[in-house]
Amino acid sequence: MSAEETPSEKDALEIIRIASDILNIGYVCDKCLGRTFSKLLHGMPNEEKGRSIRNFIALLLDSGVTINVKMENFQEYNFRRLDKLQSNKTVCFVCENIFSEIVPKLVKEAIKKAKRYEFETFLVGTVLNKALHEKDQMILKISPNYSESIKDEINRILGKSIVEKFGKSVNYIDPQLQILVNLKKLKVEIRSKNLYIYGGYKKLVRGIPQTTWYCKRCRGKGCKNCNWKGKMYRSSVQQIIEKPLIRMAKGKKSSFHGSGREDIDVRCLDYRPFVIEIVDPKIRNIDLYRAKTEINRSKYVQVSDLKFASKDDVISVKEAKNDKVYRAIVTFSKNLDKRELEKLSNINNVRILQKTPIRVLHRRADLLRERVVKRVEYRILSKRRLELIIECDAGTYVKEFIHGDEGRTKPSIAEILQNKVKKIILDVIEIKK
């Protein structure tokens, strides 16, 4: 190189340097050769760029310039100085010809699989296998300024085909459908964004949990422990609500997020907010009114109007702290004393301290929490039975506030009345919104 070399000559030499470096590693197809100059001549297909570069290098070679390249890259050229090459090796060192066979096949598979889904927005992605990834890195090193990666090229081909076939638009942030070409597994994987539905539920019976409890021993498959049902309870709020939704959305399963939960033996007679998440939905525009009607045929669960929601709603439902009003039918061990009962009327915004209840200690940390009981009303049902209306903070252990939990909740109704509690039948009657 001469000292007075101008920048433009340097750039020209850089292009020749890149081309010869690429063409010296083995046979490289037009697409891969062109991809190393992808960022130049915007809009021209890589194949055409590759063909032009190859022609140009062939011209130089035929004019007598010495360039180190593998001659299998110039099989079909008639050089005046050289014999025409006989070899027929045409497997590209870089892409292993995936663009002529595998990629079109996978694009076809992607279209076929995407057809099963109802979607408005999508995003494509590519996972390269180890060999392709390494070669991709090698090319990017040879041509760091102009090259595009194999991944980007596959994404572009796939994205274009999806747009042409379905007329949908790309969304980088929150696509409804993710279409992934996996070259490790040689298959297309589709991820459909979960469908979120918001509503409120009432639980009209005792004895079913909010979420489905799978048998711990068999994890839902069915065994002796669970009487071959896979589940520990005959039904659940989740099971009843998910049934029409999973069917209509053609989903796989659901996740259920309630704004708190009542115990299995407690009814919930006011609408408790929830978000149900349908996993892998094929259909997104489902008829929520029809789903509601179907759910409300159940004798166990009723739902309020359902509406489409988002992931953020899961957080707001989970974090909502709603005061609750409970009704409890309490049976005591001794006869009730009418004068003692008067003390209950004095419970007015009373702070109570609750250690984690004995019944949940096996799965929760032993903590001390403070809650406020806003008011307690009572009605005498019989000598030993009371109906109590208790309004309290979200997260109050109400049963423990009634029976005292062996002194772990203070004060408690049992303590105030100096009367042991034998039985509690509890309902949530109002969730303050």
Chain positions contacting Zn ion, by CB under 5 A: 29, 32, 92, 94-95, 215, 217-218, 223, 225-226
* Closer CB to Zn ion, 95 or 325, in the complex: 95
* Closer CB to Zn ion, 31 or 399, in the complex: 31
Query: In the complex, what is the shortest distance from the CB of residue 94 to Zn ion, in angstroms, rounded to a whole number?
Result: 5
* C-alpha to C-alpha distance for 59 and 61, rounded to whole angstroms: 5
* Closer CB to Zn ion, 27 or 326, in the complex: 27
- The catalytic residue positions are 263
* Closer CB to Zn ion, 46 or 176, in the complex: 46
Helix 288-295 to helix 237-249 angle (10° resolution) is: 140
Could you tell me which of 379, 372, 418 has the C-alpha nearest to residue 398?
Answer: 372
* Closer CB to Zn ion, 226 or 413, in the complex: 226
Instruction: Name the one residue in this structure whose structure tokens are 């065994």.
Output: 223
